[in-house]
Every structure is written in C-alpha cells, then in structure tokens.
Amino acid sequence: MAAVGSAVGLGNIWRFPYEAGQNGGGAFLLVYLICVFILGIPTLMAEMTLGRMAKTNSVEAFRRMSSHPVFSRIGYLGVFSCLLILGFYTVVAGWTFQYMWESVSGGIEGMTSEQFSQSFVEFSSSPFQPIFWTVLMFLITHLIIIGGVQKGIERASKFMMPLLFVLLVVLCGNSLTLDGAREGLSFLFKPDFSAINSSVVLSAMGQAFFSLSLGAGVMITYASYFEKDVNLPRTVTTVSLLDTSVALLAGVVIFPAVFTFGIEPTQGPNLVFVTLPNIFAQLPWGSVWSFFFFLLLALASITSLISLHQVVTAYVEEEFRLSNRKSALVVSCLAAVLAVFASLSLGVMNDVQIAGMCLFDLLDYVTAKIMMPLGSLLLCVFMGWRLDKSELINEVTNHGTLRWRLAKVWVVALKYVIPILITLVFVNELGLFKL
C-alpha cells in the first residue's frame, strides 16, 4: 500500500490529464498505456527486485551490487531527481490546500468558468499564498518522515487511497452525465494516429515513469523494507494496475467537464485546477464535495511526497552519517528553497527563463522527460547486464517457491527491449534520427 501511495498522486490526477490535454488526448493515452506495459511494469519489477536484494538505500544499492566506476554511481541520479521533483511537486500539493480552504470559505460558489480560471492564475502567480501552503506541505511531510518510516507511511496509506478511489468513481459517474461527456470521452479514448509525434511519445513515456515513481530510486528504497516472502510479481501488478486506473478515472472525470464548460484542454498545469471547481460548482453540496476531494488529493500527494523525501533523507543519513532528524531537516530546507523559487517562477519571476521555460516547468520537464527515463534506462542496463540472470530470477521467484512465467521475458526486456526503446525515444526527440 505504501508503494501504491507513492505511485498514486498528483501524477495521476493533475499531471496525466494536463499532459493528455496537451498531447492530443487519445493519441497520448494509447502511447502512454503502451509505455506502462512495455517499459513501466518491467522497470518497476527491476527496482523492487534490486531493492529487496540490496536491502539498502538507492545509492548504496548500486554500490553494493557492483564496483564498476559508472554503474556503482547510478543511484545518485535518482536522489537528485527526487530533490528536483520535491521542488515543484510540493508547490502543486500546496495548491490543494488553497482549494480546501476556498471550499470551506465559500469561494467556489456562483463563479463562472472564466472566473475560476482567472482566480487560479491570480492565486498561483501571487507571491505569498502559494508559498505559505507549500511550506505547510513541507512541514507535514517533514514531521511524518522524522516520525519513522514504516509506521507513519503505512498507517496513512491504508485508509486514504481506497477513499480517493471511491470518490473518483463517484465523480466519474457525475461527469458521464454532463453535456460534453461524449466529446470528452472521444477526445480521451479515440486516438488520432496522425497526432503521434516524437514529443507525444516522449511525454507519454515520461508520464509512465513519473506516475509509477520510476527511475528515481523510490521503489528501490521501498522494496528494501520488504520481507523475504513478499510476492514481487503480484505487488508490481497491483501497483501498476491501481496507478493506471486512477489516471484513467481522472481522465474520465476531467475531459467531459473540459468540453462542457468550454475549457481549453491544452492549457497545461492549470487544467485540473480550473476544471474541477466547475464540476463541484454544479453539484448539490458542491463545497462539501470539493473539500473532500481536495483533502484526499492532498493526502495522496503527501504519500508521494513522503516517498520522494525518504529517498533523499535515507541517502543523506547514510552518506554523511547524520541522524534521521538532521538529514530530514537538510532535505526539507534544500527542497523548500527550490520550491519557493519554483512557485515564484509562475508569477513575479516568470521572466527568468531557462531553455524557454520558467523554473517550475523546467523542473517538471527535466525530471519526468529526461532524468527518470534515463535513470530507468541505466537501471535496466545495470540489472540486465551486470547482475547474474539466475540470481535475478531467484529473487523474483522467492528462490523458486513462486512461479512467474514471464521471468525470462522480463530479463530480455531489461537487457534489450527497454534500453533500446528509451534510447530511440531520446534520439528521435533530439532529431538525430527520425522514426
């Protein structure tokens, strides 16, 4: 459940719809699903296997399994990715607090679609409010982290995730009755093949890794706490199925509403925060729905934030021999500084652009579309080529006590299929070579 907690979060409910909206809807969804099955699931299996074999943090895991000068250092990339993700994820997580606040203070009543959109832009670009919520998010995450690893995380995940799921299903039912339901569903589910290009493929691949928390060492770290008898293939299947269904549910909630309320599907990170209030505003007891939804979304983001934070903290703790409290404090402070700038980059610091993007967009782009696929690529090459095949199969089958018919196929995927496909997507996007 903790692994599901890490995977399910803003990636599914905020990032998936906005990426789908920007990348042609159905075309994106199709490529995304292919990426989850061919790249995501085997990579998740690889991370969990490595974590349970090495039983240590994600940096040390590679070091323990190899003395190779490059391969033993792959873990650093993941830690760095987690730190950068914390830098923008916490900002978005903070937005959910604002919406909870607005729901109870009556802010969503009687507004038009345009007003919702305007008020979101005003809020997210203002210098103080979003930063206040971001800092509060850091505080909560920090307190959970220093309260101990398993207890806090597991206790929280166990009741929050199922509730979120139920609420999404109910909201789906509601969205299907909207006037724009047909249009929304056909946008999401009817792929326009001519819309598939290299940037759609890169975005879909990045989304698959981001959503499953891959290529950042999270699942390595979590699996290091697994018992010997955990059924890895089953765990991996559960995590990926739940994660993917939450993204699909979010899509079914959002797109009918997008077309009903005349919202631009391509507007990016704002999409969900502009669409959801429209949905709640037309429901009876709208503010109550809205409050609970954003509460659960906040909780879902916290279980992801914990996993990101834990990777960096576990590393700092062991590498610099600091106490858990001190390491967590270092991580919270570093990430909070980054997050403050990321939040400001949507408003007063918007003209500071790097590679044509503000800091917020840059962090999102670089982590999901470059660092996480690269981390996954290196991990697969490492597992496939540096580790002993029979040892891997031994680990996934709990020393032969479980049967997993796909074990051999999985090893082939690690050795060849995944590295080749990720490389092709990168090379294609760079324009070095056109498929």
Residues 84-113 that bind ligand PHE (CB under 6 A): 85
Residue 308 engages ligand PHE in binding (rule: CB under 6 A): yes
- Side chain identity at residue 272, one-letter code: V
Query: How many angstroms separate the first and last alpha carbons of the chain?
Result: 39
The distance of closest approach from Cβ of residue 204 to ligand PHE in the complex, given in angstroms and rounded to an integer, is 14
How far CA 63 is from CA of 55, 106, 271, 324, 429, in Å, comes to 12, 54, 42, 21, 32
Hey, what are 391's tokens?
Answer: 């040892």
Residue 95 contacts residue 133 (beta carbons within 8 Å) = yes
User: Of the listed pieces 101-109, 115-123, 164-172, 304-312, which binds ligand PHE according to CB under 6 A?
Assistant: 304-312
Hey, what are 156's tokens?
Answer: 């929280």
The distance of closest approach from Cβ of residue 106 to ligand PHE in the complex, given in angstroms and rounded to an integer, is 29
The alpha carbon of residue 2 and the mean position of all alpha carbons in its chain are separated, in whole angstroms, by: 14
- Exactly one of 4, 5, 9, 26 binds ligand PHE (CB under 6 A); that residue is 9
SS3 370: helix
- Exactly one of 1, 4, 12, 59 binds ligand PHE (CB under 6 A); that residue is 12
By CB atoms closer than 10 A (0-12, 13-18, 19+), residue 140 is: middle
Residue 307 engages ligand PHE in binding (rule: CB under 6 A): yes
- Exactly one of 3, 4, 5, 6 binds ligand PHE (CB under 6 A); that residue is 6
- Exactly one of 167, 216, 297, 336 binds ligand PHE (CB under 6 A); that residue is 216
* Contact track, ligand PHE, 51-90, x by CB under 6 A: ----------------------------------x-----
Residue 152 vs 347, nearer CB to ligand PHE = 152
Residue 11 engages ligand PHE in binding (rule: CB under 6 A): yes
Measured between alpha carbons, how far is 172 from 110 in angstroms, rounded to an integer?
A: 23
Residue 213 vs 343, nearer CB to ligand PHE = 213
Region of 180 on the Ramachandran plot (φ > 0 left; ψ -120 to 50 alpha; else beta):
alpha
Measured between alpha carbons, how far is 335 from 410 in angstroms, rounded to an integer?
A: 36
User: Of the listed pieces 64-72, 135-143, 161-169, 209-217, which binds ligand PHE according to CB under 6 A?
Assistant: 209-217
User: Of the listed pieces 8-16, 52-60, 155-163, 404-412, which binds ligand PHE according to CB under 6 A?
Assistant: 8-16
Residue 10 engages ligand PHE in binding (rule: CB under 6 A): yes
Q: Which of 298, 123, 306 is nearest to 222 (CA)?
A: 306
Which residues of the shown chain bind ligand PHE in the complex (CB under 6 A)? 6-7, 9-12, 85, 210-211, 213, 216, 218, 304, 307-308
